[in-house]
Structure 1
Amino acid sequence: MADNGKGQFSKSEVFVGGVKAYLYNGDTLERYVKKQGDIASKQGRTAEPFQIPLNVAYLVHGRGQTYQSTEGIAYKFLEQYYEKTKSEVPFVCVTFDDRNHGERVVDETRNGSWKSGNVHHAVDLVSMVHGIAYDLKLIIDYLPSYLNLEYFLPPGVTEQQKVVFKYRNILSGVSLGGHTVIRFAHMYPHLVDVLNPVIGCSALSSLLLNRLRGTSLDSEDKYKSWFYYDYSELSLDEAARKELYPEAFHKYLAAEDASIFESFPFAKIKMFASFGQNDTLVPPALSKTWVDLYLNSNLHSEAFIQSDAGHEATPEMINKFTTWLVKYINN
């Protein structure tokens, strides 16, 4: 049980549309809602709705991992949030297994890379990103129904005061999860208040084509925006055209990457992005121009590149994010 946000945090299961999700610190909500409901009742009828804010962080894990990897991060988020803020607004976290991961594995080999023998690596990776995004949308849509917080309000206060719950959704993802939360925010910007991609990439076509072509770090091709290239300009061999990187796939992914680069809701969503300077699997330079656009469009956003880190979510990344988060989320 949680004690004012410190000590041991509660953990419970929420089964949403066939997806088992895990809720952390949810036991703090009943007392908070009852207190806010009493305040609303004493205020009497008002012209504006009485808002009850709630901070909910959804954490998406990386390829080859399970919800347990983001569970550890969730506990760190909770500990540091309550250490760094005096706000009464509760903070809860949600994790779940990605598609084809953990308890949801269908075929483990399809989580593999080209090097591991999965010829469908590119299509498997990106289709999984979208599948996870759809699962995340499902959980976000239905979590209020499972929580049923209206039940804890005093009788009649919802109608009298027009009480509404303001869910502030914080999306945090690591690696594959980082790719996912970026795309989720592009697809459903109205559902995202804070974006926290960790060692993720905004341009998956560039990431995958560099990986497929084995582009060296010193090559001029390394950081090209491949989503602006026609399929014929990629100079792929027969094997790549047949299975590894189909033309229909490039057209689909390139169009999405271009849209993310040109039309992302930068100004609407606050972002704190983290990268490892020595990350060779998902080089931070692939997202540099996009991140620069973000920082120039949203003055509340920040990016942290850790000089001694590779492809990993480090304690420093978590600490800097939570320090940044408490400055903005309750304002």
Structure 2
Amino acid sequence: MVTSDVVKETLNVAGLSTNVYTQANLRDKRTSEPVVVLFFLHGRTESADHIDPIARAAFSWAAEKGASSREALRDFIVVTFDQRNHGKRMVDQRGNLGWSKNADQHNERQAVDMYSTSIGALKDVSFLIDVLQSYVFPHDERTIGEWVLAGFSLGGHATWLALRHEPRIRIGIPICGCADIFALLERGADRLGVPRTAPYFPESLRALVRAYNPTAAPPGAFVGKRILVLSGADDTVAPWSASRAFVEALDVGERGRKEIMVLPGKHGCTDEMRDEMFRFFWEEALVTRQENRKCAL
């Protein structure tokens, strides 16, 4: 694989520790062309450190692809951060546990915690879209012209939420995520004999789900979105069957794109999934086609 010098800078963005990966020569380029930001969100019980290799690999992949391409390419940045109650933002480890018959491992609030954390990631992404350009380019050297979001597992759940609620996210790549986290949680509760009532599923949570769940979106909510769905064929944590009906029926319209890939693997971001993510990112955000320029927000 072609190597690419990558610089990682950790910024204090109003209290949110944010990792920004760039090509070493990005700031030396004499151009005002907008750059692309790829957010990548880690999975449950992980941290931004876990996905550092993926963030760096994006540049090597693009360098190798670019070496054999005649197409003009946009510069890009990869951004990662610890999700709420994860990594350096950890407050209580129990909040990341699930329901269990073992009292020491049981988290009564699993449904509340998981759904809230997913919404928190959506809010963090929206916040960074609002302010990140001022931190990365304080002298107005460049602008950010496109925001792309990908995420694994918990990050994949949040990617679906952002595709639904954040209009500035046009391109999304959920990996082993589920468009209906709540249904996934209810199935898990049934398997363990956890009742679908308070305090496990309080009515206030159900009201939140009705407001946020992608499956509750009005017709046309995803029109124009460019989505790559990556799932593991043997994933039992977030099985493709839990999302299939919704995703296959999802209307992205004539200007949208929906690609579904169920690849070999369990609940993990395999090398094949990683490379398919990079490929879709390349096609939708980095190649400066006239169509992409018109669609960019």
TM-score calculated relative to the size of structure 1: 0.77
- The reply to whether residue 182 of structure 1 matches residue 160 of structure 2 is yes
SS in 2 for 1:180: helix
Structure 2: runs of 5+ lacking an equivalent:
290-297
Moved segments of 4+, more than 6 Å: none
Q: Which moved more, 1:55-64 or 1:67-76?
A: 67-76
- The reply to whether residue 13 of structure 1 matches residue 2 of structure 2 is no
Aligned to 2:260: 303
The one-character-per-residue Cα deviations of 1:157-194 (angstroms, maximum 9, x if unpaired) are xxxxxxxx3421110110000001110221112x1131
Aligned to 1:90: 75
- Give the letter for the 2:269 counterpart: A
Residue from 89, 95, 109 that aligns with 1:104: 89
1:296 CA drift (Å): 6.3
Aligned to 2:31: 36
SS in 1 for 2:213: helix
TM-score calculated relative to the size of structure 2: 0.85
Q: 1:264 to 1:28 in 2, by over 3 A?
A: farther
Q: 1:152 to 1:123 in 2, by over 3 A?
A: closer
1:240 CA drift (Å): 4.4
Q: Which has the larger radius of gyration?
A: 1
SS in 1 for 2:266: coil
Q: 1:11 to 1:258 in 2, by over 3 A?
A: closer
Aligned to 1:74: 55
1:324 CA drift (Å): 2.7
Q: 1:241 to 1:295 in 2, by over 3 A?
A: closer
C-alpha distance in 1 between matches for 2:233 and 2:220: 24
C-alpha distance in 2 between matches for 1:310 and 1:178: 15
Percent of residue pairs identical: 25
Q: Tell me, yes or no, if the aligned pair for 1:110 and 1:118 is still in contact at 8 Å.
A: yes
- The reply to whether residue 271 of structure 1 matches residue 221 of structure 2 is no
C-alpha distance in 2 between matches for 1:262 and 1:119: 32
C-alpha distance in 2 between matches for 1:258 and 1:92: 27
Equivalences for residues 249-268 of structure 1 within 5 A: 249-257=205-213, 260-263=216-219, 265-268=221-224
C-alpha distance in 2 between matches for 1:13 and 1:296: 35
Q: Tell me, yes or no, if the aligned pair for 1:195 and 1:270 is still in contact at 8 Å.
A: yes
The one-character-per-residue Cα deviations of 1:287-319 (angstroms, maximum 9, x if unpaired) are 11222134763653311101x311111000111
Equivalences for residues 24-173 of structure 1 within 5 A: 24-25=21-22, 27-32=24-29, 35-37=30-32, 52-85=33-66, 86=69, 87-115=72-100, 116-148=105-137, 150-152=139-141, 165-173=143-151
SS in 2 for 1:266: coil
- Give the letter for the 1:202 counterpart: A
Q: Tell me, yes or no, if the aligned pair for 1:203 and 1:286 is still in contact at 8 Å.
A: yes
Q: 1:175 to 1:149 in 2, by over 3 A?
A: same
- The reply to whether residue 248 of structure 1 matches residue 227 of structure 2 is no
- Give the letter for the 1:267 counterpart: V
Q: 1:209 to 1:83 in 2, by over 3 A?
A: same
Structure 1: runs of 5+ lacking an equivalent:
38-51, 154-164, 216-235
- Give the letter for the 2:58 counterpart: F
1:265 CA drift (Å): 3.4
SS in 2 for 1:145: helix
